[in-house]
Amino acid sequence: MAPAALLPLALSTPHPGPPLRPLCRCGASRRGFTIHTVIAIAITSTSAAGGAAETPSSSTPPSKPGAPVLGGIANTRSWSQYYGSGFSIRVPPSFDDILEPEDYSAGMTYYGDKAKPRSYAARFASPDRDELVSVVIKPSNQLKITFLEAKDITDLGTLKEASKIFVPAGAKLYSARTIKVKDEEDIRMYYFYEFGLDKQHVALMATVNSGKTYIAAATAPQTKWNDDGVKLRSAAVSLSVS
């Protein structure tokens, strides 16, 4: 199966709107600035053509020379926790909820006999809009063709095999690892990838629950990752499903 494509969203025409307020479902607008986000890999067709991502090597540092492969993780307990449909995620301080009103109602809007798909389950941005934290929920059988309901991330393949789904072709892969988290009933497995593409640095966390794949991605310009990478990586890793 060919890997999913990563496509930056086009520059939008500036559109005046009400002021943004953090973590609220209000009339926040993300128009008027360019959004480069790897979460687009989960909403584009997985049939897009492309090659394999570059694998980590000793000559490919994560973000700082001599830094560990995964890098640091911050304590996020003091951050606001956003609860979505079947998931939660910690939101970095000062980040705004930029999910537009139409995104919230998209799942209830019908065109004939089909509901308009919701692009994002959650979406937050730094005040300058350069850094983004997004969550997408996709039926697992749209990412990997199967007649069985995926119950675990391993149903999409091994960590290496699943990278063809989550890591865009041509990306420079800095880190790929399995993370096991104990929840109330069992141990849930997550796949974590960190990579760079087109001067953007990305931390992505994915897991599966009841046939759905939950993907959280934090992204920023590579030039800002040295300063804010720990915060963004921590946000992605904070993804939890229920």
Q: What pLDDT is recorded for position 100?
A: 76
> How many C-alpha atoms does 222 have within 13 Å on its Cβ side?
14
Q: What pLDDT is recorded for position 116?
A: 57
Domain covering 38-241: architecture: 3-Layer(aba) Sandwich (3.40)
pTM value is 0.72
Q: What pLDDT is recorded for position 183?
A: 75
Q: What pLDDT is recorded for position 186?
A: 83
Instruction: Output the tens digit of pLDDT for each of the chain's 242 residues.
Output: 333 322 233 223 233 333 333 343 333 333 222 223 344 433 333 333 334 565 443 333 333 433 344 568 999 999 999 999 999 999 999 999 999 765 555 445 444 545 556 789 999 999 999 999 999 999 998 888 766 788 999 999 999 999 999 999 999 999 999 999 887 778 999 999 999 999 999 999 999 999 999 999 999 999 999 999 999 999 999 999 98
Tokens of 225: 């990752």
Q: What pLDDT is recorded for position 144?
A: 84
Q: What pLDDT is recorded for position 70?
A: 54
Every domain of the chain and the residues it spans: 38-241
